[in-house]
Amino acid sequence: MIAVLLNSGGLDTLASIRKLQEIDPTLELHSLFVDLGQPNATRAKAAAQAIAANHCLTHKEFVFPEGLTAVEVDAETSKTRTPYLNVLLHILAASYARKLNIGYLVSGADDYLTAEFDKKFAAILAEEGRAPYAVIPLYPMRGIAKDDRIQYILNDPLINQTISCNEAVACGVCVKCAERLANGLLAN
Ligand SMILES: [Zn+2]
């Protein structure tokens, strides 16, 4: 299988690669990192590059220096977040896959994506594209709890280079940092 990998530099990207390689050892992934000006973009970009380099993947970066996403502060946690970031990333990645004539898009993302989004997104891509231009989204880690994902790649030498925190500098206290710390990882 040949697929575009939406490479966020995160744990889920690393886990998704391993999961797909187990299923298909001949898998060919084309890594894509998108910088939409999210607060953690600099750290995420470095992590995405490390993941791509270590897996010998071709690596492409889309950079939108002005930032396409507004940063919101979550009232409950006082932490910043970027609404619909993943929706934008998926659309851009699908467009990149189509440009390369690649029929699959791999994503480890969960935030703001629902089963309903998956269904509609897949339907739109199928409707828009006629073979060989249809792009099928794959979510290898969908349905697997965060702690289980971390345990799955706990021995991966890259795991502490991945990032999770949305902040420009890992805060150490948000839910994402706490998940990492609880599993013995660095807050990143
Ligand atoms: Zn954090």
Does the domain at 2-144 match CATH 3.40.50.620? Answer given as: yes
CA 53 to ligand 1 centroid distance, Å: 25
CB 38 within 8 A of CB 69: yes
Q: What is the pLDDT of residues 164-181, one digit of tens each?
A: 998 899 999 988 899 999
Q: What is the pTM of this model?
A: 0.88
CA 16 to ligand 1 centroid distance, Å: 22
Q: Are strands 2-6 and 104-107 parallel, antiparallel or unpaired?
A: parallel
CA 102 to ligand 1 centroid distance, Å: 34
**How do the domains of the chain map onto residue ranges?**
2-144
Digit-by-digit pLDDT tens for the chain (188 residues) are 999 999 999 999 999 999 999 999 999 999 999 998 888 999 999 999 999 999 999 999 999 867 666 777 777 766 666 777 778 888 889 889 989 999 899 998 765 567 787 778 878 777 766 655 578 888 899 889 889 999 999 999 999 999 999 889 999 998 889 999 999 999 99
CA 7 to ligand 1 centroid distance, Å: 19
CA 63 to ligand 1 centroid distance, Å: 23
